């Protein structure tokens, strides 16, 4: 009986050892892959299509736990193009609460503007995955976040969401959410707000006119947004 117990114990230890070895080998493969991406992506100076395409291919070809490990290691890279790739992966995994929180609290601190552009796309991916109407509480939460990059990730999404489910049927809701930031403390966000409203005015000029007609132009911030938002409108 003692011998049998010892045998079971040794089998368990061997099983654990094999698991740790496989994890170690996987870590090596992931690090080698990240190094190859750094070499390849560092040659890309403009756009994001290659990083997005590779991220989607990798996401579809691997288990979520592997992709999660890959995404976090990619985001640690000094090569901003690889961080962009990592953020695209975060978007595909964003139904996981810890991933969404990392996007909101950490990716938003990245000092590269291209990474911030991808954050907006990753947040859009989250909203698309769970449904735009269901995402409204999270959208509202991000719009109230202290980090301007987090707020802008939403306003950049809202500028195109009037062609997406829910907001397509409720464009006034998108306009309301955007317009709430017309006096934002960040010029970066205010420009996004003005440009978003201007873009929406292509399809819904009367709704934008109605929104702007209610604004009191008594501050420099609101005047700046108003000028951007009204550029395509004809009296």
What is the dotted CATH code of the domain comprising 131-235? 1.25.40.290
- Asked if residue 147 lies in contact with residue 114, where contact means CB atoms within 8 angstroms, the answer is no
Q: What is the pTM of this model?
A: 0.85
Q: pLDDT band for 3, please (50, 70, 90 cuts).
A: very low
Please report how the helices 64-75 and 49-61 are oriented relative to each other, as an axis angle in degrees rounded to 10. Answer: 150
What mean pLDDT, rounded, does the chain reach?
89
List of residues 6+ apart from 19 with CB closer than 8 A: none
Any idea which architecture 1-107 has in CATH? Orthogonal Bundle (1.10)
- Summarised one tens digit per residue, pLDDT across range 92-122 is 999 999 999 999 999 999 999 999 999 999 9
- Summarised one tens digit per residue, pLDDT across range 167-224 is 999 999 999 999 999 999 999 999 999 999 999 999 999 999 999 999 999 999 999 9
| 235 has pLDDT over 70 | no
Measured distance CA(187)–CA(193) in Å, rounded: 10
Interior CA angle at 114 toward 145 and 193, to 5°?
Answer: 45
Measured distance CA(201)–CA(182) in Å, rounded: 16
- Give the 3-state secondary structure of the chain: CHHHHHHHHHHHHHHHHHHHHHHHHHHHHHHHHHHHHHHHHCCCCCCCHHHHHHHHHHHHHCCHHHHHHHHHHHHCCCCHHHHHHHHHHHHHCCCCHHHHHHHHHCHHHCCCHHHHHHHHHHHHHHHHHHCCCCCHHHHHHHHCCCCHHHHHHHHHHHHHHCCCCCCCCCHHHHHHHHHCCCCCCCHHHHHHHHHHHHHHCCCCHHHHHHHHHCCCCCCHHHHHHHHHHCCCCCC
Q: pLDDT band for 19, please (50, 70, 90 cuts).
A: very low
Looking at residue 203, what is its pLDDT? 93
Domain boundaries, the chain: 1-107, 131-235
**Identical topology for domains 1-107 and 131-235:** no
Q: C-alpha dihedral over 18, 35, 110, 163, to 10 degrees? A: -90
| 149 has pLDDT over 50 | yes
Looking at residue 23, what is its pLDDT? 52
Looking at residue 163, what is its pLDDT? 87
Q: pLDDT band for 28, please (50, 70, 90 cuts).
A: confident
Measured distance CA(167)–CA(132) in Å, rounded: 8
Measured distance CA(176)–CA(171) in Å, rounded: 9
Measured distance CA(33)–CA(38) in Å, rounded: 9
């Amino acid at each position: 009986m003692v011998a049998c117990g010892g045998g079971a114990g040794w089998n368990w230890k061997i099983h654990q050892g094999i698991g740790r070895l496989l994890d170690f080998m996987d870590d090596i493969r992931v690090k080698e892959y990240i190094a190859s991406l750094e070499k390849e992506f560092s040659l890309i100076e403009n756009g994001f299509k290659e990083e997005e395409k590779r991220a989607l291919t990798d996401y579809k070809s691997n288990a979520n736990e592997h992709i999660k490990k890959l995404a976090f290691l990619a985001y640690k890279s000094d090569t901003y193009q690889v961080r962009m790739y990592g953020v695209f992966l975060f978007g595909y995994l964003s139904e996981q609460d810890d991933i969404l929180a990392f996007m909101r609290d950490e990716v938003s601190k990245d000092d590269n503007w291209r990474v911030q552009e991808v954050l907006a796309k990753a947040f859009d991916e989250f909203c698309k995955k769970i449904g735009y109407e269901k995402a409204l509480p999270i959208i509202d939460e991000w719009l109230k976040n202290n980090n301007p990059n987090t707020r802008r990730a939403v306003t950049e999404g809202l500028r195109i969401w009037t062609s997406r489910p829910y907001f397509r049927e409720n464009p006034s809701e998108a306009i309301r959410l955007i317009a709430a930031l017309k006096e934002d403390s960040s010029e970066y966000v205010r420009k996004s707000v003005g440009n978003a409203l201007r873009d929406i005015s292509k399809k819904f000029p009367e709704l934008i006119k109605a929104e702007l007609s209610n604004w009191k132009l008594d501050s420099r911030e609101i005047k700046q947004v108003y000028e951007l938002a009204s550029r395509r409108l004809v009296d």
